[in-house]
Amino acid sequence: MKSRIIRIMVCLMAVMTLCLTACSHDTKPQQPKAQQTAKTVKQPAKKAQPQPMYIYMYRYDNFPVAQAQALCSELEKVYPHVHLVSSALPLPAKEYYKQGNRYRARGLVEDLFPYRHGGVALGMTTQIVYNPNEISPYWGIFGFSLVGHHSAVISSMVPKTHKRQPPEDMRKLMLHELGHAFGLYHCNDPHCFMVDFEHGNKFSQTPSFCNDCKRFLNSKGWKL
């Protein structure tokens, strides 16, 4: 009788051991799910504050310092980050068209690309600049820019008359070309700075940017 009880107990213990062994895997504590995922979820990177985009103004050769300073002051009224570079840049000889005594505007704008320094480069010259059109391959123009490429050139010489641009026209020309440099195309509003001059002079009919152009430029940091 005693040995029978012992045998039953041994059997019971064996069953219990089996059960414990069998259950031990299931009862192994699991890492809480939240903890598991916390390891794999990356913390969102802190948003870097966008650096203000500077407009760097460059005088070519003998462009008068006083006139550059006056333009710089006008520009600062509508755009807060302007830097007038003190030393003058030489006009690149490779852009010179000797027979017409003028410089290739597109070439000047492209040559300014390394001078943007993450901002916008504006070159100012007293020389005539040209851009080919259907009338002439050396058509004299007031200024030039490639839309959205952050580089522009303006000239203080009126090609037809060889006279200097009046200060107010020069200011409007600067804002027109910078408008292109920041990404604006020509505007259909005949009273907007961004109107297409169509080989003429429309400074007198353009008192400001239109509301659409203002909105666009303000989204780029302008204060219009």
Positions in the binding site for Zn ion (CB under 5 A):
187, 189, 192, 194, 210, 213
Task: State the chain's maximal CA–CA distance in angstroms.
Answer: 132
- Pair of tokens at residue 181: 């440099």
Closer to Zn ion by Cβ: residue 108 or 187: 187
* CA 154 to the chain's CA centroid: 20
Measured CA to CA, the distance from residue 189 to residue 186 in angstroms comes to 9
CB of 191 to Zn ion, least distance (A): 8
Closer residue to Zn ion, CB minimum distance, 31 or 136:
136
The amino acid at 148: G
Minimum distance of Zn ion from residue 57's CB (angstroms): 19
The residues, any chain, with a CB within 8 Å of residue 182's CB and separated by 6 or more, are 120, 148, 150, 216, 217, 220, 222
Q: Which is nearer to Zn ion, 107 or 179 (CB)?
A: 179
Write down the least CB distance from residue 216 to Zn ion, Å. 8
CB of 214 to Zn ion, least distance (A): 8
Closer by beta carbon to Zn ion, 105 or else 187 = 187
Tell me the closest approach of the beta carbon of residue 187 to Zn ion, in angstroms.
3
Q: Phi and psi for 107 in degrees, rounded to 5?
A: -60, -45
Helical pair 167-182 and 211-218, crossing angle rounded to 10 deg: 60
Distance CA 135, CA 56 (A): 33
Q: Which is nearer to Zn ion, 121 or 210 (CB)?
A: 210
Residue 157 or residue 210: which is nearer to Zn ion going by CB?
210
**Alpha-carbon dihedral of residues 161, 163, 167, 170, nearest 10 degrees?**
50
CA–CA separation, 6 and 223 (whole Å): 96
Q: How far is the CB of 211 from Zn ion (least distance, A)?
A: 8
